[in-house]
């Protein structure tokens, strides 16, 4: 039988993602464009260095040090650097401060831009369609669904990371934390609170 007479065959299933990623890495290593182990080392250091623990430190410092809080609100990039916190996606960071009347929440509707040095690489839900689609349209309902009920009178500001700026939320310090040290305060600040989808909760710190 002539090959031209064969019926067309549907395209094969894609190779598994793991094999696609390794194929690209191996091709780049073989061409001498990257070194063996370089990508793995970079991914490992990202997990260590880009962490919401950094954002938590910044918030705790702002809670105990009013001068630092002022500097943070004026220039969060420089204030974070005072604590040794900087890195990729951190060139222009802006703190948005919650008050008794205004709650802030951040999103990137078009991709998933995030202040990596302060929040770490963002979680899947932050990068998936439901959150990106809904928070700009119906923030109050979505936050309630996620466990953060806000009174109808509380103003909500949604910050869409559509340019160069990378935002994070400076939550309000709860009254019951008055006796806590800066280190204990930092332990209360979660990534969800830095995104603006959770309150500061008493986790027994």
Partner 1 sequence: MNGPHDLGGKTGFGEVSREANEPAFHYPWEGLAWALNMLAINKLRAYKPDTYRHAVERMKSSWYLKARYYERMLTGVTTLLVEKGTVSLEDLERRAGGRVPMSDPVAQLPVLQTEHSESPEARFLPGETVRVIAEATPGHTRCPAYVRGKKGVIRLVYPLAYYPELRAHSTIKRREHSYAVEFAAAQLWSGGDPAQTVFVELFESYLEAR
- For residue 117, the minimal CB distance to partner 1 (Å) is 13
111 flagged as catalytic: yes
**Is residue 203 flagged as an active site residue?**
no
Is 54 exposed, middle or buried (CB count within 10 Å of its CB: 0-12, 13-18, 19+)? buried
Identify the active-site residue in 8, 113, 162, 203: 113
Q: Which is nearer to partner 1, 142 or 180 (CB)?
A: 142
Q: Which of residues 11-70 bind partner 1 (CB under 8 A)?
A: 11-28, 31, 33-34, 38-40, 42-44, 46-47, 50
DSSP 8-state class, residue 78 = H
Annotated catalytic residue 112: yes
**How close are the terminal C-alpha atoms of the chain, in Å?**
76
How many CA atoms lie less than 13 Å away from 205 in the CB half-sphere?
A: 19
Angle ∠(125,130,131) on CA atoms, nearest 5: 60
Residues 182-201 close enough to bind partner 1 by CB under 8 A: none
DSSP H or E stretch at residue 118: helix 116-119
Spatial separation of the C-alpha atoms in residues 79 and 73, rounded to whole Å = 9
Kindly tell me which residue out of 71, 81, 157, 187 binds partner 1, with binding defined by CB under 8 A.
157
Of 56-64, 75-83, 116-124, 180-188, the window that binds partner 1 (rule: CB under 8 A) is 116-124
Nearest approach, Cβ of 129 to partner 1 (angstroms)? 5
Which of 64, 68, 87, 140 touches partner 1 by CB under 8 A?
Answer: 140
**Burial group, residue 185, by CB count within 10 angstroms (0-12, 13-18, 19+):** buried
Q: Which of 71, 81, 127, 187 binds partner 1 (CB under 8 A)?
A: 127
> Nearest Cα to 119, choosing from 65, 167, 187, 186?
167
Q: For this structure, is 162 an active site residue?
A: no
| Residue among 8, 45, 51, 111 flagged as catalytic | 111
Identify the residue among 1, 3, 6, 153 touching partner 1 (CB under 8 A).
153
From the candidates 8, 45, 51, 108, give the one annotated as an active-site residue: 108
- Give SS3 for 168: strand
Whichever of 63 and 104 has its CB closer to partner 1, that residue is 104
Please give the positions annotated as active site. 108, 111-113
């Amino acid at each position: 039988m002539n090959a031209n007479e064969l019926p067309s065959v549907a395209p094969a299933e894609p190779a598994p993602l793991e094999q696609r990623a390794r194929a690209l890495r191996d091709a780049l290593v073989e061409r001498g464009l990257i070194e063996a182990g370089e990508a793995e080392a970079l991914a490992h250091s990202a997990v260590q260095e880009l962490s919401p623990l950094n954002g938590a430190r910044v918030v705790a410092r702002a809670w105990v040090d009013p001068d630092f809080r002022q500097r943070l609100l004026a220039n969060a990039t420089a204030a974070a650097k005072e604590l040794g916190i900087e890195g990729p996606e951190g060139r222009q960071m802006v703190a948005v401060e919650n008050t008794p009347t205004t709650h802030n929440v951040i999103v990137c509707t078009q991709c998933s831009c995030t202040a990596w040095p302060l929040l770490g690489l963002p979680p899947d839900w932050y990068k998936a369609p439901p959150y990106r689609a809904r928070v700009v349209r119906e923030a109050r309902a979505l936050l309630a669904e996620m466990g953060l009920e806000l009174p109808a009178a509380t103003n909500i500001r949604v910050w869409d990371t559509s340019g160069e700026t990378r935002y994070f939320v400076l939550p309000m310090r709860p009254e019951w934390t008055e006796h806590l040290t800066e280190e204990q305060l930092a332990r209360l600040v979660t990534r969800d609170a830095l995104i603006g989808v959770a309150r500061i909760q008493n986790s027994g710190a």
